Each structure stands twice: as C-alpha cells, then as structure tokens.
Structure 1
Amino acid sequence: MSQPIPSLLTMMHELLSEISVSSTSAQWDTGNRRVIDKLAGWLNSLGFQCEIIPLTNRGNKANLIATLGSGPGGLVLAGHTDTVPFNEERWDMNPLALTEQDNKLFGLGSTDMKGFFPIAIEAAKSFLEQPLQQPLIILATADEESSMDGARELAAQGRPKARVAVIGEPTDLKPIRMHKGIMMEAITVVGRAGHSSNPALGNNAMEAMHVVMSDLLAFRAQLQQRYNNPLFDVAVPTLNLGCIHGGDNPNRICGQCELHFDLRALPGMDNSEIRYEIEQRLKPLAAQLNVNISLRSLVKHIQPFEQNPDSELVKYAEQLTGHSAAPVAFATEAPFMQQLGMDTIVMGPGSIDQAHQPNEYMALNQVQPAVDLLRQLIARFCL
C-alpha cells in the first residue's frame, strides 16, 4: 500500500511554492531540484521507481523518470518543471503560492505547467492496485522555457522508452498534433568605422545590413511561396526581424551592426536546411559589400512537430475529447519525444493564453475533467 500523500491542490501549492525559473539570463535562472525531489518523494511513496538524472554539468537541474509497472510499451505523461521569470509587483496575489479565487487556481506555473503533475499523480492513484500490462511513466523535465536541454539530453540518452507520450501543456484539454519549429539567429556585419564627413574613410555596416535585411525579406517571401499549411492560423512560415543594434554616434561611420531574427518553420521543413540556405545567401552579399558577415544561433533549434493523424493515440484522444487534433503556434518538447520513438500529442488543462504573464491561472473546472481524461488514457495504453 502507498503512503499518504497530499491532496491534489496541496500538491499544486507545494510545487508552485518552489521557485524554478529557467532563463537565458543568469540573473533570473535557478535550479529545479526542489521541485524534482518533491515529485520523486510523492511518486516513490506510490510505488513508482524514480530516477533523478542531473543535467550535464548543471547539478542544480535534473530530469525525473518515474515508472510504475514494466514492459515494452506503455504511456509517458510528460511535463516541464520550470517557469518563465516573473515580476512579483505585477501580480495581484503571491505568484509563489496557489490562490483559489473566482473558480480559478492562480500561481506561477499553475497552467504552464507545474499544475499538470498533481493531476497526473491523481489519475495514477486509481491504478496502484491493478497489475499494469504496460508501464506508466511520469516524466518531469528541466529547462523547457529556455534551452529545452532537459528533453534534449533525454533524447540523446534514448530514454524513456514507451509506446506513446502525452505532453500536458495547456491546450484546454484539446489534442494537438502539430506545431511549428523555432530558430533564432543573429547576423553580424562588420565594416570599417571612420569620420562621417567622408564616406570613403570607412565602410558603413548599417548600410550593408540594410541590404542584408532586404535579402532576408526576399527569402521570407520565397519560403512562403514554397510552403503552406492551411491547418495553421498562420498558414506560412514566418520570419520576424526582432531587434537591431549598430553604431555608436551620428558623426561616426557605423563599424558594426547586428540583427536578431526569429524563423518559425512549418512541419515538413528542416531548420538546418533553412539555415544553410541563409548562409549561402549571405556569402555573395559579403563579397559584394566588402564587409564581414557572420551568422550565429541564439538558441538551439527546435524542429517542427507533426504526429500522424491516423495514429491510435490521435484517434483515441479525439474520441475522448470530441475535438479534432489541431495545430498550435507555440513549441513544445514533442519533437524530442518523437525522437525516442513514441507517438506523441500535446494535451493538458489550462489555456496557453494565461501562460507567461502576471496572474497566471488554471480554471478550476478543468481539473477533474483532466484527471478523468488521463485515467482513460492510462487504462487504454497501460492495462
């Protein structure tokens, strides 16, 4: 028999109380071990075999693989334990606590996505006395909100292994089988500074960047001619020129300029191939303009995700929810679950509209339906 563990809402409160911010800025970034250790303690008391796997060279961050039962197939219920940074002064309540108000559960990570774990645990409790034919795995990852290094390391390690995976990101309990990829890149142009009174004294990097930007926009138009998926609200790949920095004074020829851009590829496109195309376009521009042009990745690429609409997992999720599996604009760890050989969907309680902002909440009326939905998935793929 399992040892008593806290109630669902108490578990949610305890998880939200542990800060686990993931950020590319060292000022904000923290570890997630206290969240992982708390989850492992609860799951271990329920009879799960728990393995805590620290991230390489980052001892304060770890993944958790908690397994109930054994066998070659089974179901992974996956989520990330980190949150985005937050501004406490913009919250109407304590972000590091669970506040129940107006039939909503407020708190940082309530919907994105610490709140998924107590729901998964509550669903799993119904199967503790039943012999599972295939394993149930609860997977908790690190650093989804910044590098996705937790999921990347798991994919590289080849674990966990199961037949299907459900990632509990907030989708209002509707199945998601597609999303776009992400690549964020920086282009740096180095010219030659000089006195602005005589253009011949230098080579203006900002003017060269103007040519580069025009070429990027032409490339965007070509991509949008080549690729289209009407299932997405934005049916074409996007390329956003996000920020630009260059020069230091009006009376000095700009010697260096840097542009950051974001490209969202559709399923069927490959980030590496797109990046290679961009590199090949930049080379003749550098020669033409007599400047140095370099391209570097700001974050590791996330490939587009697509699950076969005819897979058993998709069909069963559609049957359970009454909703057709759809695409979303945001990215998830789904491509890494697919790398592990699992049919994968994204489906969880809460709305993505509430994520990454003050007063984040999960609607209380989604909690029990989420528990019931996960119970049905466990019964289908583990019994």
Structure 2
Amino acid sequence: MHKCPSLISMMTQLIASPSISCSQAEWDQSNQGVIHLLESWLSPLGFRCEVLPLPDQANKFNLVATLGEGEGGLVLSGHTDTVPYDQGKWQSDPFSLEERDNKLFGLGSCDMKGFFAIVIDTVAKMDLQNLTQPLIILATADEESSMSGARALAAQGTIKARYAVIGEPTKLTPIHAHKGIMMERIQVTGKSGHSSNPALGTNALDAMHDVISELMSYRKQLRTRFQDASFAIDYPTMNFGCIHGGDNPNRICGRCEIEFDLRALPGMSNQSLMGEITRLLPSIEERTGTSIQLTSLFPDVPSFSTPIDADIIQVCEKLTQKTAETVAFATEGPFLNQMGMQTLILGPGSIDQAHQPNEFMALDQITPMQDILKSLIGRYCLNEVSSIIPQKTGDTL
C-alpha cells in the first residue's frame, strides 16, 4: 500500500500553502496549491481525482476524489480556503504549524485544513479494496467568501452519493441544521440642495427613516410568524449593520444607504423574503418622491436542515454519544443537500477558534474523529454492521 506522509506532515504542508478567499481583492488568493497537495496524496491511494475549475474563476478549483463505483456511498467534505489573518496578533507564523500545550496552531488548523489531513491519514490506514459503495473526498473553493465552489457543484450535479459529512469544527457534535443568510443593501436616492429651503431638494435621509421603520415593523412580523425551538435564537433575525448618507449638515441629503443581514430559519425561502421586502418599497418611493433600490451584497446562503430521523444523524448521534444540535454559522450543507445527499456537519476543533488569531486544533480531537470516520466508511462504503449502530430500516444501500 502507498505510504502517505504523516498526519502532522500533511497538516503542516496544507497550512504552509496560503489559500485565503476574501471579497477584498488584495487578500484573495488561489487555492491551487492546496488542491495539488490533496491530489498528490489521494491519487496514489487509488482515488480518481477530478480537478474542476470554477466557472469564471480561472485560479479557483474544486477537487472530487472518488474511490469505488456506484451512486451511493459517502462524501467527506471540506473547504480548502481560509479567512484572512490579523497581522501582528499571532504568537507564531500563521502559515507554520506549531505544537504547544497539546494544540496544533496554524491558519486553517481547525477551519478546516486539519480535517483533510485527518481524513487522508484515516483512509490510508484502512483496507478499502472491497468497497461496496464509493467513498468520495470533496474539497471546495471559496467557502469563506462566496461559497462559489459548492454552488458550482450543486449547479453541475455531478456528485451522486447518498450521505455526506462536512468536517467543519463542531467539537465532534453532530449538527443537523443552521439558519440561512442574506446580506442586502437598500439605497435611497433623493435630490440635494441648500438646507435653508427644504423645497429645493428631496431628503434621502428622511425617506430612509421611513424605510427603517417599515423594516423594523417587518422584523417584528417575522418573529411572530416563524419560530423554531431547536435554535438558541428561535426566530429569524434582521440586523441593521451600517448606514451612510449625506455629506454636510447644511445640505439636503441626496443619497443614503443601509446594509443589513437577515437570517432565516429552515423552511423559510430567502427568495420569498426578498420579494416581501421589495414590495415594501414602492409606497415609500411614492410618498417621499425618492428612488429606492434593493440589491444583494453577496449571493444568499439557504438555510440547512437534515431531518433528525435521517440515518446519518442517527448514526452520528450513536457514534458521538451526543444529541444533534443547531448552529448559528453557515456551511456548505444546503448545497450538498440540494445534490440529494443526507448531510451532517461534524468535525474536530471548535468554531470558537475559527477566524481568530492563534487558531488551533486540540490534539485530543484527532483520534475520536478518526474513529468516527472509520465507522462511517465501514457502514456506508463497506456495508459493515456495527453493534453500536442500529440497522437501517427502509434505507438500504
């Protein structure tokens, strides 16, 4: 059997290959180096590796690595990019793996390059010559910015597995649902003029007052209309994040804009919410004599939910001895669900360390994660039956 580098060596090399994704061009980088590393370790293990450029992004790539044949099986998924880092706030080089205090420090150590090293190390030590269903390792681009990698895969619909685990850091707690996210801008255009005579212009700030009042009323309606007790914040939220307008106290404000986010519960449609907000605006335009435009800052992320009685949820609850929970952060889960997979979020490390200086993976998370992976691969790819996992009923492979 081909010998892979050690887990620590793989993690070191992945972290040493910068792959920041960011909406700001000066930070944004290609993930090609990470993809090539993963391919170089998976191909010798027998995986059929497809490197897929993202549409309209020549320097961004997804990797679909498949072992075995068929349309069932298991996907182990992660993203190859990281967020930017705070210069001067790290105790060590963000791109150099450092072990101290039983922790592995480095940018992407838990979110989520470390997951790939754990997966490949696990797979390399298993006998997978007699797979009954395929094992697919999926590595995506740009999860931390636009999620364009997962969006492209969902649009292409090329992955046909039945089950999927996304290894985001959850401290080995199964996650079955999260809210969706929309980030929007409303821009009000009026007419500037001298403030000594209001009739000389049309005040965009005055109109924005009406816009905010309508949005606040709408926010209250959403809280009344929708609840989900499985979430700590059990209603949809709308946050007014920033507002800009005008240029001088003695000028009528000719333009004002507000940016806000809206986080919808599973079962709610982002498109329906956009439609409802859009319909609030024409009456304000007519009443104030302004022009009002609603635009999205980023493509929306749908809410994510896999039924609590799904086999992948039941199995991982048994393996972890933890009840599946919900989280506030977004993942690529909804896009994998769109491809027809029962999807679960479950991974080593804590989201509390993600996106922070001195990000780390606790060493005591690694072996338990590998044990979970072995059991999942055994169940969904080797058709093994474990005494701690119930037999599937009506969900045969």
Given the two structures, how large is their TM-score scaled by the length of structure 2? Answer: 0.95
Q: CA deviation at 1:357?
A: 1.1
Distance in structure 2 (CA, Å) of the matches to 1:128 and 1:294: 58
Q: AA paired with 1:334?
A: G
- Whether the aligned pair in 2 keeps the contact of 1:88 and 1:95 (CA below 8 Å) is no
SS at match of 2:294: strand
Name the structure 1 match of 2:151. 152
SS at match of 1:220: helix
Q: CA deviation at 1:129?
A: 4.6
Q: Summarize the alignment of residues 1-383 of structure 1 with structure 2, pairs less than 5 Å apart.
A: 1-2=1-2, 4-383=3-382
Identity of aligned residues (%): 57
Name the structure 1 match of 2:386. none
**CA RMSD of superposed structures (Å):** 0.8
Q: Could you report, residue by residue, the CA deviation over 1:234-284 in whole angstroms, capped at 9, with x for unpaired residues?
A: 111000000011111111111000100000000010000000000001111
SS at match of 1:352: coil
SS at match of 2:49: strand
Q: Could you report, residue by residue, the CA deviation over 1:259-313 in whole angstroms, capped at 9, with x for unpaired residues?
A: 0000000001000000000000111111111100000000101111110111111
Distance in structure 2 (CA, Å) of the matches to 1:201 and 1:365: 69
Given the two structures, how large is their TM-score scaled by the length of structure 1? Answer: 0.99
Distance in structure 2 (CA, Å) of the matches to 1:161 and 1:249: 58
Q: AA paired with 1:19?
A: P
- Whether the aligned pair in 1 keeps the contact of 2:19 and 2:80 (CA below 8 Å) is yes
Distance in structure 1 (CA, Å) of the matches to 2:268 and 2:320: 30
Q: CA deviation at 1:130?
A: 3.1
Distance in structure 1 (CA, Å) of the matches to 2:100 and 2:55: 40
Structure 1 pair 257–312 and aligned structure 2 pair: CA distance change class (3 A): same
Distance in structure 2 (CA, Å) of the matches to 1:175 and 1:156: 27
Q: AA paired with 2:379?
A: R
- Whether the aligned pair in 2 keeps the contact of 1:126 and 1:375 (CA below 8 Å) is no
- Whether the aligned pair in 2 keeps the contact of 1:110 and 1:360 (CA below 8 Å) is yes
Q: CA deviation at 1:200?
A: 1.1
SS at match of 1:320: helix
Q: CA deviation at 1:214?
A: 1.0
Distance in structure 2 (CA, Å) of the matches to 1:130 and 1:191: 69
Distance in structure 2 (CA, Å) of the matches to 1:150 and 1:47: 24
- Whether the aligned pair in 2 keeps the contact of 1:48 and 1:66 (CA below 8 Å) is yes
- Whether the aligned pair in 2 keeps the contact of 1:46 and 1:128 (CA below 8 Å) is no
Distance in structure 1 (CA, Å) of the matches to 2:125 and 2:362: 23
Distance in structure 2 (CA, Å) of the matches to 1:352 and 1:113: 10
- Whether the aligned pair in 2 keeps the contact of 1:229 and 1:236 (CA below 8 Å) is yes
Residues matched between the structures, number? 382
Distance in structure 2 (CA, Å) of the matches to 1:362 and 1:215: 45
- Whether the aligned pair in 1 keeps the contact of 2:4 and 2:124 (CA below 8 Å) is no
Q: AA paired with 1:193?
A: S
Q: AA paired with 1:179?
A: H
Q: Could you report, residue by residue, the CA deviation over 1:43-97 in whole angstroms, capped at 9, with x for unpaired residues?
A: 0111111000011121211000001111120000000000011123111111011
Distance in structure 2 (CA, Å) of the matches to 1:209 and 1:358: 38
Q: AA paired with 2:95?
A: L
Distance in structure 1 (CA, Å) of the matches to 2:142 and 2:151: 10
Q: Could you report, residue by residue, the CA deviation over 1:5-40 in whole angstroms, capped at 9, with x for unpaired residues?
A: 210011001000111011011011011000001100
Q: CA deviation at 1:122?
A: 1.5
Q: AA paired with 1:338?
A: N
Distance in structure 1 (CA, Å) of the matches to 2:360 and 2:213: 42
- Whether the aligned pair in 1 keeps the contact of 2:242 and 2:258 (CA below 8 Å) is yes
Unpaired runs of at least 5, structure 1: none
- Whether the aligned pair in 2 keeps the contact of 1:244 and 1:257 (CA below 8 Å) is yes
Q: CA deviation at 1:128?
A: 4.0
Q: CA deviation at 1:114?
A: 0.7
SS at match of 2:280: helix
- Whether the aligned pair in 2 keeps the contact of 1:111 and 1:349 (CA below 8 Å) is yes
